[in-house]
Structure 1
Amino acid sequence: MKAIAQPARTLLSPHDHALLLIDHQSQMAFDVRSIDPTNLRINVGSLAQTAKGFKVPTILSTISKDTFAGPLFPEITEAFPDAEVTDRTTSNAWEDENFIKRINAVGKDRLVIAGLWTSVCCNGPVVTALEQGYEVYVVTDACGDCTTEAHERAVARMVQAGARPITALTYLLELQRDWARTETYDTTINIATRFGGG
């Protein structure tokens, strides 16, 4: 067999997916213990800025923001100050009709998903999307849970269902992939410097 210089089909590119950021709300982060909250916010900020810089369609959602969960992390609203945010009451965002309308409007069958609580905000939409035939990547360091055990079991469940686990840094570098891509070179360097300690 002869090798061919081309990317693997499963590698992400800026134009082949949508990013879903679900329930990254400050008042909901109070009991996250599986990742340091500062690192969580850094990773979420990196994701948001990467999607903005590479012009990836991004869907933002909150749960009960006016009653108990509060606003989105400022790291997200800084990247998307005028974005529509779907507020819901359902724990599983995929069970909200308005959220689904937005996914259908984007028209991508490949999704990258991160949600604040791994076992709830992330797990529900990931498993449901997979059951409906979507190809799903889950950003495991842009979510967290009340214990390491809860986080790890949720990630294992999503992977067993067919999700591909990635990290926020993997996402950035996979979209750039070639340093000759000068149109996003500065974007990539700036995000890595700001959020990666470069």
Structure 2
Amino acid sequence: MLTENSGNGILDARDVQILFVDLQPELISSSRTIQPAALTANAAVLAQVARLTHVPVTFSIVPVQGKPGRNLPALTPYVSPKNTVRRVMAGTFMEPRLVDALGAYKRKTLVVAGYATEVAVLQTALGALKAGYTVYVVMDVTGSRSERTEDAAVRQMEMAGAIPTSVLAIAAQLAPDFSRTPGSEVLLTFDSLSPP
């Protein structure tokens, strides 16, 4: 379902929230479509842009090998018990606590970043679309073990209505005036981005 702003391709920071899904060291280590170091660096930049533009962030993590999951260390400055939801289901929208946490922000544009594209990211995008969110998937903060299967998942998300994007595109829309804050501060974060 598209919102009023989604048709014109312009994001309104007051209606945006960001969801980081399964960006955990043990999981992203197998990424082949973007190197783990680049994925980590880009995730940290996206989180920093969110902080600078006052966009709320939520983290969803899963257990790994029977142990509680943990976020990437680079995301630690942005993580708190209040914005982190642990789950065991593949799809984040299968976890009522997460659905409630996202709904509490009353922001209908959801920017999704995570690992793996074919599982958590795809399920999240489809669940969010079904729940009425406009969904953007940040491709330089999204990884997979396989280009072939990632391409298929991205096509499926696009066909359902999700919009593939990048950290730069999101950042420039959230803070388009680089001559003053927060845009001038957001501009400084671009040097920390890594190519996929």
Is 1:32 paired with 2:59?
A: no
Give deviations 1:69-94, integer Å, cap 9, x for gaps.
Answer: 73101121123456531011111111
User: Which residue is 1:109 aligned to?
Assistant: 108
User: Which residue is 1:100 aligned to?
Assistant: 99
Give deviations 1:1-59, integer Å, cap 9, x for gaps.
Answer: xxxxxxx8421132121111111000111221111111111111111111111110111
Q: Describe the SS at the equivalent of 2:111.
A: strand
Note closer, same or farther for the CA distance 1:101–1:14 as it changes in structure 2 (3 Å cut): same
After superposition, residues 67-106 of structure 1 pair within 5 angstroms as: 67-68=66-67, 70-80=69-79, 83-106=82-105
After superposition, residues 28-177 of structure 1 pair within 5 angstroms as: 28-64=27-63, 67-68=66-67, 70-80=69-79, 83-177=82-176
Deviates more, 1:60-69 or 1:160-169: 60-69
- Whether contact under 8 Å (2:26, 2:64) holds in the other structure is no
d(CA) in 2 for partners of 1:65, 1:85: 16
Note closer, same or farther for the CA distance 1:98–1:82 as it changes in structure 2 (3 Å cut): closer
Give deviations 1:60-114, integer Å, cap 9, x for gaps.
Answer: 1101268347310112112345653101111111100110110111111111111
Note closer, same or farther for the CA distance 1:193–1:81 as it changes in structure 2 (3 Å cut): farther
The aligned amino acid for 1:194 is S
User: Which residue is 1:187 aligned to?
Assistant: 185
Q: Which has the higher contact order (CA 8 A, sep 6+)?
A: 2
d(CA) in 2 for partners of 1:67, 1:170: 37
- Whether contact under 8 Å (1:140, 1:155) holds in the other structure is no
Q: TM-score by structure 1 length?
A: 0.87
Highest Rg: 1 or 2?
A: 1
Note closer, same or farther for the CA distance 1:83–1:48 as it changes in structure 2 (3 Å cut): farther
Deviates more, 1:87-96 or 1:34-43: 34-43
Note closer, same or farther for the CA distance 1:69–1:167 as it changes in structure 2 (3 Å cut): farther
User: Which residue is 2:22 aligned to?
Assistant: 23
Tell me the matched-pair count. 189
| Structure 1: gaps of 5 or more residues | 1-7
d(CA) in 2 for partners of 1:39, 1:151: 17
d(CA) in 1 for partners of 2:160, 2:41: 28
Q: TM-score by structure 2 length?
A: 0.88
User: Which residue is 2:3 aligned to?
Assistant: none
Question: Percent identical across equivalent pairs?
Answer: 25
Deviates more, 1:59-68 or 1:118-127: 59-68
